Amino acid sequence: MLSLTNKRILLGITGGIAAYKSAELTRTLVKAGAEVRIAMTPAATEFITPLTMQALSGNRVHLGLLDSETEAAMGHIELARWADLVVIAPATADFIARMAHAQADDLLTTLVLASVAPIAVAPAMNQAMWGDTGTQANLELLRQRGVHVWGPGSGEQACGDVGLGRMIEPDEIATHCASMFEASKLAGKRFLITGGPTREAIDPVRFISNHSSGKMAYALAAEAAAEGAKVTLVSGPVQLSTPESVERIDVESAEEMYAAVMAAVASADVFIGVAAVADYRPTAVANEKIKKTEAEMVIKLVKNPDIISSVSEHSARPFVAGFAAETENVVANGQEKLERKGLDLLFANHATDTFNSDSVAVTALTKDGQQELGPGNKHTVARAMLSLIAEQLKAISKGHAG
């Protein structure tokens, strides 16, 4: 259970439509045992009222830098000193820009400069604003100064656009907050994770692939890193941001993914094969675009290397967990794959229920039994998966010690 007992969190709210989520975030943090104090920019009060945030936090909301009631005692400095953690959620593009350039022209930017506590931002903005080179440069400046960047997520936005820029959900932010304080059961463990689809070229403009979005792998990578693990993510082509503190290796084909995994597996404690790797690739790739001249075209295919089996058979074998996305007989087919490939753990689910979805339900299979995880948000289910992996690692460690 998420625990933030007696932790002091300063929540900064800036002027974006995602400010409505800050109410749920406050409620979640308080329920987890945290003491929450809130500072709002003037624009934020146009989206959600200070009275609402005061009721949810149980504390007076701080609004202005030049507040005569508090500044006689240098209130903004005292508030900055009070916090164990400063979280800006939502963090607009404007606020990120001002923060990156060390401005102190309102209460919240001043608090950020005055605090020595860890600071995190949860970006929320239009997808084009998120992708702008100026915004990305500002975020890089913040990262270089040790600021944590949580998110953003991808999906439909208030303006009607679809893409990266949504503030991640309150429970995800609360979990990140907890990870800043808790001694993690995965601290120091080295995770190697594959994710996304592979693309098998037919000619310079066409390829064979699948519908995998990579969301499950990225959720696992993000949550493992938040638990203190050192994570390397070997990713096929996806439209997702690299999770914080995760090393990402981009690949296109199954052969490229195989090479990247084999180069890194010897140093891994845990391997999780989440990627939807193409089983076959064309035997030959045309140098030029194939023209539509014949009524039929035959493409000869050859098997791709079996990445997870190769990891399972490696001389420096880590703990190996796999996924089975099935369209029928999910548990039976998953159990057969677990045994055939010599895995320690396998997560089986129905393929059509998970591709491009933000939620998932899986059956965790081991040689000793099975356990249902979810349905739930992929980050929530990822945490349950990692807890199960941690339990398995602990059991193996005890067995070796015995």
- What is the C-alpha separation between 155 and 162, in angstroms, rounded? 5
Whether 99 and 112 have beta carbons less than 8 Å apart is answered as yes
CA nearest 109: which of 96, 93, 122, 127?
96
Superfamily of domain 8-179: Flavin prenyltransferase-like (3.40.50.1950)
pLDDT tens sequence across 343-387:
999 999 987 666 667 788 999 999 989 999 988 878 888 989 999
pLDDT tens sequence across 84-93:
899 999 999 9
Q: Which residue positions form the known binding site for CTP?
A: 279, 289, 305-308, 323, 337, 341
Percent of the chain scoring above 90 in pLDDT = 68
- What is the C-alpha separation between 270 and 261, in angstroms, rounded? 12
Instruction: Assess whether pLDDT exceeds 80 at residue 66.
Output: no
Instruction: Assess whether pLDDT exceeds 70 at residue 125.
Output: yes
- Residue 185: the pLDDT is 74
Quick one: pLDDT band at residue 399, thresholds 50, 70, 90? Answer: low
Give kind and range of the element (H or E) at residue 23: helix 20-31
- What is the C-alpha separation between 173 and 178, in angstroms, rounded? 9
Asked, colleague to colleague, whether 8-179 and 190-401 share their fold, the answer is yes
Which range among 57-71, 116-130, 215-229, 320-334 shows the weakest confidence by mean pLDDT?
57-71
Tokens of 266: 């010897």
- What is the C-alpha separation between 324 and 345, in angstroms, rounded? 11
Quick one: pLDDT band at residue 67, thresholds 50, 70, 90? Answer: low
- Residue 72: the pLDDT is 43
Rounded to 5 degrees, φ, ψ at 283 are -70, -25
The domain ranges of the chain are 8-179, 190-401
Q: Which residues are catalytic?
A: 159
| Mean pLDDT in residue range 41-62 | 95
- What is the C-alpha separation between 165 and 265, in angstroms, rounded? 33
pLDDT tens sequence across 225-256:
877 799 999 999 999 999 888 999 999 999 99
CATH of domain 190-401: 3.40.50.10300
Whether 311 and 322 have beta carbons less than 8 Å apart is answered as no
One-letter amino acid for residue 219 of the chain: A
Percent of the chain scoring above 70 in pLDDT = 93
Quick one: pLDDT band at residue 6, thresholds 50, 70, 90? Answer: confident
| Mean pLDDT in residue range 271-287 | 96
Q: What is the pTM of this model?
A: 0.62
